[in-house]
Amino acid sequence: MKTAYLVILFTVSATLCLSSCSKKSDDVMPAQTTTAPVTVQTTPTQSTTQTAAGFQVKVDGYLYTPDFNYALTTSPGDNDYFGVYGLDSKTGNLVALLLPKTVGVGTTPINTVNMGIMTVNQYDFSTRNGGTGTVTITKKTATNVIGTFSFTAYDASGTLKSNLTEGSFNVAFK
């Protein structure tokens, strides 16, 4: 089971690295904010509303707005899933949702099957390690997915916890 989990994480990481080498015109940029990424903030930020294309989430109260965000119609390692990704190319920090392709408009639990994952400052967290949450898809087409999410994720040991709240995305499928 741990081996399968590590293979999935490696595959996701490798795919993200390779897919981040796209033409600049293909990348969907997040809504502009005046807040720095989570790695340099020292205090929690005020809540913001995202209406334009992009991806953002509060990680333990700190706003994370990655510079690359997109959805893949097929998740690495499992053709029955799709992924929504927010990747900071400068730090390598990542937040992703891996959901069954059958998920449409409505609210779906995030758990050990419908996963939320996060890598921040080289620490990996996942709902596969006991966390839970929800994702609400408000629009899903063949080219775009829009929604909100929140979840709690744990590291592999199950002792370190991170809360992701007020997440939102409006991303194109690649």
pLDDT in tens, 75-106: 666 678 999 999 999 999 999 999 999 999 99
Domain containing 147 equals: 2-172
The C-alpha atoms of residue 113 and residue 94 are separated, in whole angstroms, by 19
Written as six digits, the tokens of 72 are 């893949």
Q: What is the pTM of this model?
A: 0.71
User: For residue 17, how many other CB atoms are within 10 A of its CB?
Assistant: 12
pLDDT at res. 8: 47
The whole-angstrom distance between residue 161's C-alpha and the CA centroid of its chain comes to 16
> Cβ distance 129 to 155 under 8 Å?
yes
Lowest average pLDDT, out of 51-55, 159-163, 165-169, goes to: 51-55
pLDDT in tens, 132-142: 999 999 999 99
Between residues 74 and 142, the one the model is more confident about: 142
Domain count, the chain: 1
Supply 46's token pair: 């005020």
Write down the pLDDT at residue 19: 42
C-alpha–C-alpha distance, residues 81 and 45, integer Å? 33
Confidence of residue 73 (pLDDT cuts 50, 70, 90): confident
The pLDDT of residue 122:
84
Answer whether residue 16 shows pLDDT above 90.
no
Confidence (pLDDT) at 93 = 94
Unique residue bearing structure tokens 């940029």: 29
